[in-house]
Structure 1
Amino acid sequence: MADEELAKDLGPLAALTIGVGTMIGAGIFVLPRQAYEIAGPAIALSFVVGGVISLFTALSASELGTAMPKAGGSYYYVNHALGPLFGSIAGMGNWMGLAFASAFYMIGFGDFVTALVAVPAIDLDVIRISGTQVAAFFAGMLFIAINYVGAKETGRLQNVIVITLVAILTVFSILGFLQADLSTLKPFAPTKAGYGAVLPGTALVFVSFLGFAKITTVAEEIKNPGRNLPLAVVGSVVIVTTMYAILMIVMASVINWTELAAPGADPVVEVAEVAFGNSLGLAGVGAGLIIFGGLLATASSANASILASSRINFAMGRDKLITAWLNDIHDKFATPYRSIAVTGVIILVLILIGDIKILAKAGSVLHLIVYGLLNLALIVMREADVAEYDPAFRVPLYPITPILGALFSFALIAFMDRIEIGLAILFVVVGIGWFFIYARPRTEKQGVLSKYVLSRPDDMPDPAVSAATTVKPDGGDYRVMVPLANPEHETDLISLASAVASQRGGTVVATHIVQVPDQTPLASGAAHVEELDAESAELLERARADAETFGVPVETHTILSHRSFEEIFDAARTHAADLVVMGWGEDSHGSPGRAESAIDELTNGLPCDVVVLRDRGFDPGRVLVPTAGGPDSELSAAIAQMLQAEYDSELSLLHVTDESRDAGEEFLADWATEHGIEDANLVVVDDEDVEAAIERAAGDCSLLVIGATEEGLLSRLVRGSLALDIVDDVDCSVLLAEKQRKRSMRERLIG
């Protein structure tokens, strides 16, 4: 199945409002009563402390986000830098932390709904569902559906909600300030714990600061992330921290904090009644406006959290830390709809069974783990001096900033209650267990930290080398099958296959298919292999010798069949191949421009990825990859990247466009970054004749890597195909790449 991209359709305002919209809700509308109860007016300092802790991590997230604008945000950075063991912890923690937070916001939303209309409770034999939870449940279903239909619709909704919300709170603050009596703030830290209550207060309200990291989870969808991502991330923290501090001071100066902390109190509504009533004589209007604002605030928080949590799930599926089934992109909406649906079910369950304070702190504690790991990830990326790591934004005062970010994040966990600390430990243990039981045998990605340690075993402490070896992903055994037929091309095919296997830590499976006449039973043919094909043993022995020069394991198999070309794909299934590297035989391509024959194309999907070498002398010195972003382009990019790593190839990417050159350059740069080959030469050509442009560019290269055609079989049989025409017309060797994926019969016939 092709790894599909998410559309870039979020502008800077939409990105900023994802962060602000999430953070502005809980602190001012849902938690003030509990917050004042803990720290009194000093809760304003709790918000400032939370903002400072968040700012350190926001700066680190901004640098990582501009260097790696990927779906998954914090999870992706941890997984990429620290490896899939920590990626499993961060992914599970971030995903479930957002689910807890989403449920918390939705219950807050339900509380405001019940202030406006009566919502009946539901009594079941095993559980009583309050009216607040009922309202939250149905509201949750609505926002899950909104996220299901696409990020652009989500971004537009966030813009409207947050702009309206900020306007309401601005009026609320001004009117409240006019009624303020600063004497009510004395003493500033009146609770029994005094200023010692500030950090426990921060632990409670930190759920209010989860929004900035959510921006990075949609970095892959943000326009111009190098500029817009840092502005949105850092800007959202500064804006919200300032608003929280002002609002908490204003509220406690309008009504004494003891009244705001009383059981059953609704601080923001009560303050609004005083502020609007004394200033404008509109107490009822003020209360109604604040209830409306509360609905907007909790709705925007929930909406942004659902958006972000589903994309964590999506990113983990892409890295094989959870099932790839979650990777599917909706044909119409271009969203990871299965991730959204699965996450939505979890959120709805939490709404039905969760306590609001536990949900808030659970969301916070899981995020604090991720934030600590995120800061460590930045240090690893800097210290490992990764060649492709080139952020457009760099944190100031490195390494002090990420070190303090990590220390503060982990330290704040100590001020949580036992149940939240236990939950944090549980999720770390679950993440570790999940990695060793499920992810390690499947994932192939090795973190930068592990690579760095294992590449310098003599310079590193033995425990570090041992630990890196222990957690190194198995990724299964990546198997590259090479069906051999022509001794003249055996060396080139094996060299190509071995280069790929070497880069993936895999095995070369060399096969020779011996065709037995239909009149001869295969069992009888086995006794006469030498007569049927005298070169079989010699061909496979040469293949073994050639592959072993690359230091990769080699298997050899002689396969007897009544078929020849068609047997290749059955053999790939039998030997569990991940990639087939085969030669361009004259009788192999009755389906022009694709790897399989016409019969295979109509009757079966490919069992694995396939590359077909049109061999005119295998020379990977100068590799050209034309791309228009088609579904086979991922495989083209992966093959080119592995050849570059193995042979130090000069790699060029080509995009031919008949539209805006600027748009073409932006597309190609984004595509190169997406596939980890941003150091390649980027070439954009304005030309309506794509074939001619590719052929001209191929004149300067030694190997052309091109994706299979997307045209249907019927049109190809009538008109041929661009890919096949290029293969025939260029002078260099050509690799035709075709990614394994499902295609309907209509797609196979028509395209």
Structure 2
Amino acid sequence: MGSGSEDTGDCVEVKLKRDLGLLEVIMIGLGPTLGSTIFLLVGFGLEIAGPGLVLVLILNFIVIIFTATAYAELSSAFPDTGGGYLWVKEGLPAPFGFLAGWMSWFGHCIVTSFYVIGFGKGILWILEANNQIPEDFNGDLIVKALAVCVCVVFIIINYRGTKETGRSGIIITIILLSIIITFIVAAAVFIAQGSGDGNVGAIISDPMPNGLSSIFVAMGFTFIIYEGFEIISQCGEECKDPLKNVPRATWLCIIISTFIFILVAIVCMGVVDWNTIGVGTDLIRGEDVVAEAAGLALPGGVILIGAGVILGTLAAVNSTLFSSSRVSFAMGRDKTLPKSFGKLHDKRHTPHVAIIVSGVIIITMTLLLPIAEIAASTSIMFLLLFLFVNLSVMTLRYKRPDIKRHYLMPLFPLIPLVGIFSLLILAAALWEEYQVAWFIALLWILIGLITYYFYGGKKTIETIEPEEEPKGIIKTIIEKREEKDYKILVPVAREDQKALVEFAALVARVEDAELQVSTVIELPSTVPLDSLGYRETSPHIKLVEKLKKASNRELVKSDGSVLVSHSASTSILDTVKEEKINLLVLGWKGRTTEGRLFGVTLDKLIQNADCDVVVFKTAGLKKEIKKILVVSTPEWHVTYATGYAVLFAKRDEAGITIFSASTSKEAVAEEEKYAERLAEICRTHDIPHEKKVVQTSSIEQAILDEAEGYDLVVMGASDEWKQKHHAFGHLQDRVARAVKTPILMVRKVRK
């Protein structure tokens, strides 16, 4: 989040809520690597370098360390800027900043083409394994058609703004790891039994059968496996504790990716003779090598790898399409691309123009280029982008010495200089085998330069001062009062929730508590958190300002905030934890969807909030409450609920009825004892009250019948709330959904 702020004069603060933990960020980086890449790229590497592929991967790991240290330093100094584009724009003179964004955009687009082709290959492998494809049928046509179809599906998903949760990404990546490990183990056993056609020993005995140049070509070609940590760098503004987690995720992603690739390369070397890999009637095509090895090593292996590629596409395509549209969206917002790229859809809040144009580029590359040229073009783009980042880490040391760097690379400037030299060698090496890929890269750069010099990007970039923060969300500042021991949070979403804030203010006055009124702007995962301006946040700010005034009835001052997040429930739960909230007051409309207790968001908050929780259904609540029904049982949190009922009664001069119901005579006596305890609370505060203890065949129906004619029903939770299928307890949940009277439910977990 940018450091700038603007005072609107009315105590409402807009906050970006970080959603992603370390594990989610690692999975975002690993998803593309473990998706189509590992299943398709290993074969091409063996075709180019033979048994030297293991050496290639080790050398690539060494080369990427130089760039990774640059990313680690820059992400620790600029955690919210969102990746290489803005670092280069800040660190290098024009037009390098524009070109970095331009190449990053194309790089993410074309790597998405690689992934969707992987989806088509996965389907084709499964169909061929089940003899569903005629021998004379063009398999490449099927692959291209399926690739375009899945690309269109993901474009629609991103356009509509459907969110992919961090948990689903973790699950997909874990399944992918399981498939890869299964293949590695099965192939290793297959080799140990002497069944393989390859020669693992050649990795050591003959590491350069095609000469030294093939090692460099293969290094450049397979560099695509490190594309994932550029995506990680773009997650800084959504990552929790980014100064630590982004560098950690970067290193772990690199180490895990390299280790898994080496293992897959070794077993493929043992199962398949690398001399049989190539283009020809009797040869194995590079993209089919892993599937071929799996088919030999274990029953159903081709289907397993096909499923892995399909699943990997799900993990990879959404991430890379998201990244490509995000870069072009940022450039549109900076006015280095047409302003339409930087606009959000009025209804869906997605960068729809950026998504559609990125999708058109992806589909075009998918249809026009063979898979090897797509992979090579991707590698060239990221090699050049990483080169610019290494240059930027050096220039920013001198241009921005004022910025605190939580991680400083050692041996500066030797490491970035070695990184630049290494990347240049690898990019140049690709010219030997992949001239078409280089022509595509140069053509894209030429189009970019024309756009820069003739569209107006040059003028835009040159008018931005180096010290200027990226334009983003309008924040307002609040006057910090002395922090109090007891804190109350009231999330609001509608103007008709005035009674909710009034109740929270009533508790705040008695507890001498700090009251915070908040609303959440929930954005699709494709939209950066800092993309909103005052026009988008203004209605939410005004909502909070209006509802904050409801606390004036109790002469309580309150803070207001607008939380910008990709998950409403996560942002509220994080606020509860970070602000050490004691009481969370939630509003409920009284309706729910099938299979839910109180609603998707409410269910998550009730079950996971580590504080006291009140759910208040205020529909039909009178301005003055005169008759309050407290539903009593010894096992419920009703003592605390009675305390809240007393607050209402004292404010409005109301009477309280303590009601207990039991299905047996033996329990009635116990109910009467507990009801008397609650009555004592009322007497202590001089509240008019009465007790009703009844025996009935249906406790639920007795409560519903008694509730008629009251202004408010108050209930406490039972210990059943700890079970995930209950919010406050089996009976409480049923009564809450059935009763027509306004109801306040209390769950006590205060430590």
Q: TM-score range by the shorter chain?
A: 0.5 to 0.7
Q: Distance in 2 between matches of 1:196 and 1:663?
A: 64
Aligned to 2:460: 442
Aligned to 2:436: 419
Q: Are residues 1:106 and 2:116 paired?
A: yes
Say whether the 8 Å CA contact 1:88–1:434 is kept in structure 2.
no
Say whether the 8 Å CA contact 1:60–1:378 is kept in structure 2.
yes
Aligned to 2:321: 306
Amino acid in structure 2 at the alignment position of 1:291: G
Which residue of 44, 55, 70 corresponds with 2:54? 44
**Normalized against structure 1, the TM-score is what?**
0.57
1:353: how far off?
A: 2.0
Aligned to 2:293: 271
SS in 1 for 2:460: coil
Deviations 1:22-62 (A, max 9, x none): 12234431133332221111112222222322222122112
Q: Are residues 1:212 and 2:226 paired?
A: no
Q: Distance in 2 between matches of 1:298 and 1:143?
A: 10
**Normalized against structure 2, the TM-score is what?**
0.57
Aligned to 1:410: 424
Aligned to 1:351: 366
Q: Distance in 2 between matches of 1:402 and 1:21?
A: 27
Deviations 1:490-526 (A, max 9, x none): xxxxxxxxxxxxx99xxxxxxxxxxxxxxxxxxxxxx
Q: Distance in 2 between matches of 1:416 and 1:93?
A: 17
Q: Are residues 1:169 and 2:167 paired?
A: no
Q: Distance in 1 between matches of 2:250 and 2:209?
A: 36
Q: Distance in 1 between matches of 2:271 and 2:237?
A: 44
Say whether the 8 Å CA contact 2:19–2:240 is kept in structure 1.
yes
Say whether the 8 Å CA contact 2:36–2:119 is kept in structure 1.
no
Q: Distance in 2 between matches of 1:6 and 1:336?
A: 18
Aligned to 2:575: none
Q: 1:79 to 1:38 in 2, by over 3 A?
A: same
Q: Are residues 1:400 and 2:422 paired?
A: no
Amino acid in structure 2 at the alignment position of 1:165: L
Amino acid in structure 2 at the alignment position of 1:378: V
Q: 1:711 to 1:167 in 2, by over 3 A?
A: closer
Amino acid in structure 1 at the alignment position of 2:101: G
Q: Are residues 1:370 and 2:380 paired?
A: no
Q: Distance in 1 between matches of 2:418 and 2:349?
A: 39
1:247: how far off?
A: 1.1
Aligned to 1:81: 91
Aligned to 1:95: 105
Q: 1:380 to 1:259 in 2, by over 3 A?
A: same
Q: Distance in 1 between matches of 2:489 and 2:546?
A: 30
Which residue of 155, 164, 173 corresponds with 1:153? 164
Q: Are residues 1:137 and 2:157 paired?
A: no
Q: 1:174 to 1:219 in 2, by over 3 A?
A: same
Q: Distance in 2 between matches of 1:317 and 1:419?
A: 29
Aligned to 2:262: 245
Q: What is the count of residue pairs matched by the alignment?
A: 479
Q: Distance in 1 between matches of 2:317 and 2:516?
A: 49
Amino acid in structure 2 at the alignment position of 1:37: E
Amino acid in structure 1 at the alignment position of 2:53: I
SS in 2 for 1:197: helix
Q: Distance in 2 between matches of 1:165 and 1:436?
A: 45
Say whether the 8 Å CA contact 1:84–1:445 is kept in structure 2.
no
Deviations 1:194-248 (A, max 9, x none): 3431111112222222111111122222222112111111110110011111110
Q: Which runs of 5+ in 2 are unaligned?
A: 7-13, 491-511, 518-533, 553-751
Say whether the 8 Å CA contact 1:146–1:154 is kept in structure 2.
no
SS in 2 for 1:157: helix
Aligned to 2:21: 11
1:89: how far off?
A: 0.6
Q: 1:653 to 1:131 in 2, by over 3 A?
A: farther
Q: Which moved more, 1:70-79 or 1:5-14?
A: 5-14
Deviations 1:96-135 (A, max 9, x none): 01111101111121111122348999xxxxx998111110
1:13: how far off?
A: 1.7
Amino acid in structure 1 at the alignment position of 2:413: P
1:348: how far off?
A: 1.9
State the Cα RMSD in Å: 4.1
Q: Are residues 1:390 and 2:410 paired?
A: no
Aligned to 1:225: 242
Q: 1:659 to 1:290 in 2, by over 3 A?
A: farther
Amino acid in structure 2 at the alignment position of 1:75: Y
Amino acid in structure 2 at the alignment position of 1:205: T
Say whether the 8 Å CA contact 1:84–1:446 is kept in structure 2.
no
Say whether the 8 Å CA contact 1:104–1:351 is kept in structure 2.
yes
Aligned to 1:733: none
Say whether the 8 Å CA contact 2:92–2:395 is kept in structure 1.
yes
Q: Map of 1:717-728 to 2, 5 A cutoff? A: none
Amino acid in structure 2 at the alignment position of 1:176: A
Deviations 1:525-565 (A, max 9, x none): xxxxxxxxxxxxxxxxxxxxxxxxxxxxxxxxxxxxxxxxx
Say whether the 8 Å CA contact 1:79–1:88 is kept in structure 2.
yes
Q: Are residues 1:58 and 2:68 paired?
A: yes
Aligned to 2:448: 431
Q: Distance in 2 between matches of 1:715 and 1:289?
A: 53
Say whether the 8 Å CA contact 1:6–1:334 is kept in structure 2.
no
SS in 2 for 1:153: coil
SS in 1 for 2:407: coil
Aligned to 2:190: 179
Amino acid in structure 1 at the alignment position of 2:223: F
Q: Distance in 2 between matches of 1:689 and 1:159?
A: 33
Amino acid in structure 1 at the alignment position of 2:379: S
Which residue of 327, 332, 335 corresponds with 2:342? 327
Q: Distance in 1 between matches of 2:207 and 2:374?
A: 27
Q: Distance in 2 between matches of 1:5 and 1:323?
A: 28
Q: Distance in 1 between matches of 2:115 and 2:155?
A: 13
Aligned to 2:644: none
Q: Distance in 2 between matches of 1:86 and 1:6?
A: 29
Q: Distance in 2 between matches of 1:381 and 1:25?
A: 34
Q: Which moved more, 1:209-218 or 1:182-191?
A: 182-191
Q: Map of 1:651-670 to 2, 5 A cutoff? A: none
Say whether the 8 Å CA contact 2:20–2:238 is kept in structure 1.
yes
Q: Distance in 2 between matches of 1:413 and 1:663?
A: 54
1:719: how far off?
A: 8.7
Q: Distance in 2 between matches of 1:156 and 1:145?
A: 22
Q: Map of 1:663-742 to 2, 5 A cutoff? A: 687-688=514-515, 710=538
Q: Distance in 1 between matches of 2:80 and 2:151?
A: 26
Q: Distance in 1 between matches of 2:236 and 2:546?
A: 41
Aligned to 2:585: none
Q: Distance in 2 between matches of 1:230 and 1:660?
A: 36
Amino acid in structure 2 at the alignment position of 1:431: G
Q: Distance in 1 between matches of 2:105 and 2:253?
A: 21
Q: Distance in 2 between matches of 1:81 and 1:128?
A: 47
Percent identity over the alignment is 28
Amino acid in structure 2 at the alignment position of 1:293: G
